[in-house]
Structure 1
Amino acid sequence: MNNFWENIARYPRFFISAMLGLLLILISPFQKLLRTTVGKIIFGVSIIGIGCFISITLKNMLDI
């Protein structure tokens, strides 16, 4: 029974480490993009564009 609880205690640590690994893999292309000035501008404009798109979509969906 003790072995069972040890295994159960390992799952949250595995989940956290897997999510951190996934986050690092997803962020790594953006780190390369942010090294140049043009890349920073492209990144900033795309983040603002995505934010505007989500805002407009939610306003239209919720009829605000």
Structure 2
Amino acid sequence: MNKQRAIEISESAIMKHVTYQDTPIYIQHVNEDETARVYPIGNSEQEMTVPLSSLTEHP
């Protein structure tokens, strides 16, 4: 996923279907170094930093 799109999704009030390793995630914050702070939907305690290239947006 490109950085601009990840920022748009993280700032949107509408939930988008994004996955990390086939797990639906919520993008909490996009970092300057092409990574994002994310957590699995329904499990905000499992925050992790992942490369933007590993995120997939689904229609």
Query: Given the two structures, how large is their TM-score scaled by the length of structure 2?
Result: 0.25
Query: Given the two structures, how large is their TM-score scaled by the length of structure 1?
Result: 0.23
The structure, 1 or 2, with the larger RCO (C-alpha pairs under 8 Å, 6+ apart) is 2
**Which has the larger share of helix?**
1
From the CA coordinates, give the structure whose radius of gyration is larger: 1
**Which has the larger share of strand?**
2
